[in-house]
């Protein structure tokens, strides 16, 4: 990769991940996490939004061991260690599923659809999985 190509876009991108699948039925949630972590490791500016059934990834007290899986919630608790601090739960998705923010892992901020739109608009790249 030449330096010339590298300067074609800003070195630090705003990348937003929108994770909208429940944690254990399909691997989309894991794929989204892997992409977010890789982006953080490569020093991109990551925002992470949990929407629709993606909300279930944030519930406290998960035990993936019961189905021989890794516990996704444990990995999500380490996001701050990777420098991912903008972690949001969609308010409407919570309400539709009767989930209270107190049921969620610590460090999650609430966000509404208007602010999600602004976040998308302000991002260089969005991954929606």
Partner 1 sequence: MKFSIVIYTAPYSSESAATALRFAKSLIQQNHELYRVFFFGDGVHNASKLTIVAQDEINLQHQWHELIEEHDIDSVICVSSALRRGILDRTEAERHELDTASAHDSSEVAGLGQLVDAAMHSDRVVNFG
Q: Which positions lie near partner 1, rule CB under 8 A?
A: 1, 5-6, 8-9, 11, 13, 15, 27-28, 31, 34-35, 38-39, 41-42, 44, 124-125, 127-129
Tell me the closest approach of the beta carbon of residue 111 to partner 1, in angstroms.
21
In the complex, the smallest distance separating the C-beta of residue 84 from partner 1, rounded to whole angstroms, is 14
Task: Considering the complex, state which of residue 28 and residue 64 has its C-beta at the smaller distance from partner 1.
Answer: 28
First to last CA, the chain: 29
Task: Transcribe 57-117 into DSSP letters.
Answer: GGBTT--GGGGT---HHHHHTTGGGGT--EEEEEHHHHHHTT--GGGBPTTPEEE-HHHHH
Residue number, 28 or 71, with CB nearest to partner 1: 28
């Amino acid at each position: 990769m030449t330096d010339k190509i590298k300067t074609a876009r800003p070195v630090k991108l705003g990348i937003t991940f929108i994770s909208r699948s429940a944690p254990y039925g399909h691997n989309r949630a894991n794929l989204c996490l892997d992409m977010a972590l890789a982006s953080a490791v490569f020093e991109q500016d990551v925002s992470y939004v949990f929407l629709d059934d993606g909300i279930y990834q944030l519930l406290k007290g998960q035990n993936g061991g019961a189905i021989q899986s890794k516990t996704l919630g444990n990995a999500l608790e380490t996001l701050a260690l990777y420098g991912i601090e903008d972690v949001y739960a969609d308010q409407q998705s919570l309400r539709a599923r009767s989930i209270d923010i107190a049921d969620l892992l610590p460090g999650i901020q609430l966000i509404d659809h208007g602010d999600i739109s602004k976040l998308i608009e302000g991002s260089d790249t969005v991954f929606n999985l």
